[in-house]
Chain A
């Protein structure tokens, strides 16, 4: 082999090994990233649950109460005329927790001044959608809310 041939062979060898090192590093990176990312991504499990909101006779007319249902805050209102309403309490704007305003008989979000009617319809302020309604059932004097 002449000097030139040697130099060409050496540079070819360097290029090949360089590519092999980069390729192996990339493959190792991908191999580690796939389980790593999957590990962090939670699975979306929606449990259908039930939560008790106490006894009917303890629940004053025209007041609201909050319970947790599958980690989600739920607002239950006893209407001034007696019936019950239940909503997911997360404001449809940015997820703050809404409250029942007794004096104005409506639902309000304190964070960005969103207002919902007693039926959960978005009335004014930034909320783009009505509150999500939940089913209320009364069994032997106890109030239950169910996720649908």
Chain B
């Protein structure tokens, strides 16, 4: 039996030839950045799953063994540090790419009708990615991670209305214990991946089903067929991203730190993951009370309000005008200044 016979046998039963000529023949806008960003996001998420499953098979989620198991992954198993590095860096790049796309859409005003659901699902996807990064930073159960778990769950407690329930749900009780680590682990490896996958499907579905709108002349420009032109470009970009991820994993040192100890003071160096540094700066610099409310509770409430405003942006700013662009630029500058403040 020849190779093309086998290929034909499967093709007759799976109908992939018709499918590939249909999908492959579709035209895409060569200069629309979103389709490339979407491809990069899919690739990074696939990398997360592949490296995450490997880590999952060695990681132990109890408070006594978590730190030790991470040390063993990094130090003893062949390529363990590479796997851990690839998982870490592809995760950071995933959050970074999603935030970049979010900001880009805000600046371009591409969230307006009829693309409201594209925007809302995109905001929720970015939130889930941020939750991935936060829970992932807690799993090694170092002294830093333990402090982050304490502060992070306390901040969740300051979300208006549902805060109290959220805090006890995340901690598995009133205190940070081994139960907390188990919850964080469960979210990181089951709840969040399942949500992320479903949301991605929903997001791509909303992109396809929303009537076409062109926000920039570039999107109207040159059209290229999906196969081979777009696939080749995308493949080149993905190889580039992979080189960046592997280089970061190989050449940037990521010391694991010290094991968590519930009977030791929190380390003075404890800082959250990079995208939360502006919040860290606010919490550190705020006075005891703001407008008569404890400052941390005030900041928690204000951030919840800000988040809901961003999620509801298409319904607040129906035209995607200059005001949103201006406020976004201002917010970026503020976030940059706060990040610098948090680091020094």
Contact = CB atoms under 8 A, between A and B. Distances in A.
Interface string A63-76: 00011101111000
A6 B268 CA distance: 78
B69 interface: no
B174 A44 contact: yes
Nearest to A91: B266
A122 to B, nearest CB: 7
B280 to A, nearest CB: 8
A56 B152 CA distance: 37
B305 interface: no
B130 interface: no
A19 interface: no
A126 B266 contact: no
Interface stretch (A78-86, A110-118, A135-143): A110-118
Contacts of B172: 42
B287 A126 contact: yes
Interface string B281-313: 001101111000011100000000000000000
A96 B284 contact: no
B150 to A, nearest CB: 4
A128 B295 contact: yes
A68 B262 contact: yes
Given A95-B150, A96-B147, A128 B288 contact: yes
B288 A111 contact: no
Contacts of B177: 71
A41 B164 CA distance: 11
Interface residues of B, number: 34
Interface in B269-288: 270, 283-284, 286-288
Main secondary structure of the interface of A (DSSP, over half): loop
A111 B147 contact: yes
Contacts of A109: 266
B1 to A, nearest CB: 47
Interface in B142-161: 147, 150-151, 153-155
Interface in B249-265: 262-265
A44 B91 CA distance: 35
B288 A72 contact: no
A98 interface: yes
A128 B151 CA distance: 15
Interface string B165-180: 1001101111111010
A126 B267 contact: no
Given A110-B267, A126-B288, A41 B154 contact: no
A94 interface: yes
Contacts of B288: 122, 125-128
B173 A42 contact: yes
Contacts of A112: 283-284
Contact of B270 (A44, A96, A122): A96
A94 B294 contact: no
Contacts of A125: 288
Nearest to A112: B284
Contacts of A110: 265-268, 270
Given A41-B165, A71-B177, A111 B266 contact: yes
Interface string A22-38: 00000000000000000
A134 interface: no
Closest 8 CB pairs of A and B: A99-B265, A66-B263, A110-B268, A128-B294, A96-B266, A71-B175, A95-B154, A95-B150
7 contacts: A44-B173, A71-B175, A95-B153, A97-B266, A110-B266, A111-B284, A127-B288
Given A46-B174, A111-B268, 17 more contacts: A44-B173, A68-B262, A89-B265, A94-B154, A94-B296, A95-B154, A97-B264, A97-B265, A98-B265, A110-B266, A111-B284, A112-B283, A122-B288, A126-B284, A126-B287, A126-B288, A128-B295
Interface of B: 147, 150-151, 153-155, 165, 168-169, 171-177, 179, 262-268, 270, 283-284, 286-289, 294-296
Interface of A: 40-42, 44, 46, 66-68, 70-73, 89-90, 93-99, 109-113, 122, 125-128
